[in-house]
Structures are given as structure tokens and as C-alpha cells.
Amino acid sequence: MATRRGYQMGRWLAGRLMKELGLVSCQQPTHRYKRGGHEHVAIPNYLERQFAVTEPNQVWCGDVTYIWTGKRWAYLAVVLDLFARKPVGWAMSFSPDSRLTMKALEMAWETRGKPGGVMFHSDQGSHYTSRQFRQLLWRYQIRQSMSRRGNCWDNSPMERFFRSLKNEWMPVVGYVSFSEAAHAITDYIVGYYSALRPHEYNGGLPPNESENRYWKNSNSVASFC
């Protein structure tokens, strides 16, 4: 507005004047990832974009994204079961480190009944290559698979989930607090995405219904045999 009236004003001056007037910008600041220490590990891409799996708890994918929470960026880690594209574990933190991704994996492990034979696929972020995270996978006897460096298509189901979250649910300007963000994202995952949202991959069924049909059919076959 000031520039339209002929005043020359840069970002620094505009920011100082807004601060003096008690005004807050509605635009999110530019996000810059914090760089953690990277442990080089040679983990093959066992998944090889074979995203169509035949049963639940066969392949889980994981990724981390950033969420604006009023005064600073927070980070959301999600674990997605590829069978019905259902989020089975998630966690939020102000630090995108291995403690965050481990918390999401621990939730998935517990809520899914500690399954055996799972493959976990992710990118090569330090929060997945750290010794602590790999030790947790070893403890759970989960096989690790990793995307090729810089190739987002190797983990495209996670990219699609985060895009849906941000386009369908999140305010354009982010959330006003960490607490609000955590509650809203849980509501999206539990109350909408898993329970109600039709998913093209599931033939138009929400993830919960797709999984329920699988287990019902499996139990029917077992009873018949």
C-alpha cells in the first residue's frame, strides 16, 4: 500500500514499522531446513517404486515436512502404510532429528500390533540414516529401504499425503501455535483422511474401510479353510 502511494520502502523498514505499530505479517517466512550431522550409510532402494502392496504391514513409508506454528517452524514426521495409504504413526517437534522420526515409528509399531516382516522406506535424510533410528529398526526387525538421493518420486505416496494435508486442511498462513497445529493435524489424520476421505488408490474407499474389507475377506477365507 505504501509503495502504491509513492513511498520507497524495503522489507527491513516495513518490518520495523509494522513492529512499532503492533502489526503481524500474514505471510509465512521462508523455510530453511536445519542441517543435522549426516551418517553415510549404503542402504539400497529395495522398494524400487513398487507401491502396490498386497497386504497391510508389508511396507511402511516415512517422511518429514515442515509446519508454521505462529512464531517458528515445527516438523511433522509421518509413517504411511502403503496397502491402503493409511497413516499409522506420526509425531511433531521443533527439531527434525532422529528423535522425531523414532517417535513416529514407535507409534506405528505399537498401534499396528508389533507386526513382523515390515519394510520401512524413506529418503536419505539424517533423521533416517542416524545410528539411533537404524538401531530401532533393528530392534523391531524392520528391513530398511531408501530412495535414491534427490529423487522424490522414489517416495511419491508420502509426497502426495503431505500435499493433500497442506492443500485440503492447513490454513495458508499456517497455525497460530504448536498446540493448535498438533490437534488440527491429528483431526485430519484420524477424523478425516483415514475415516472419511475417498482415496483413488483404494477405488474411492477411505483407508480405514479399505483395510477393514481386507481383514474381513481374510477372516472369511480362513474360516472357510
Within 10 A of 99 (CB to CB), how many other CB atoms are there?
15
**Tens of pLDDT, residues 30-74:** 666 555 555 667 899 999 999 999 999 999 999 999 999 999 999
Q: What is the DSSP letter of 155?
A: G
Note whether residue 13 is domain-resident. no
Fill in the DSSP letter of residue 1.
-
- CA-nearest of 99, 52, 101 to 76 is 101
- Decide if 85 contacts 25 (C-beta within 8 A): no
**Which tens digit of pLDDT belongs to each residue from 125-136?**
999 999 999 999
45 belongs to a structural domain: no
Report pLDDT for 19. Answer: 52
Tell me how far apart the alpha carbons of residues 149 and 131 are, in angstroms, rounded to a whole number: 19
Specify the number of domains making up the chain. Answer: 1
Is residue 160 assigned to a domain? yes
Residue 44 lies in a domain: no
- Quote the strand ranges of 37-83, DSSP E: 59-68, 73-81
The answer to whether position 74 is within a domain reads yes
CA dihedral 38, 39, 44, 46 (to 10 degrees): -70
Q: What is the mean pLDDT of the chain?
A: 88
Give a yes or no: residue 41 inside a domain: no
Q: What domain range includes position 77?
A: 59-224
> What whole-number distance in Å separates Cα of residue 76 and Cα of residue 64?
5
pTM score > 0.85 for this model?
Answer: no
Residue 95 belongs to a domain:
yes
Q: What is the mean pLDDT of residues 107-116?
A: 98
Name 183's Cβ contacts closer than 8 Å, sequence gap at least 6: none
Which CATH number goes with the domain that contains 211?
Answer: 3.30.420.10
Q: Which region among 143-152, 171-180, 199-208, 209-218 has the lowest average model confidence (pLDDT)?
A: 143-152
Note whether residue 194 is domain-resident.
Answer: yes
**Which pLDDT score is estimated for 42?**
83
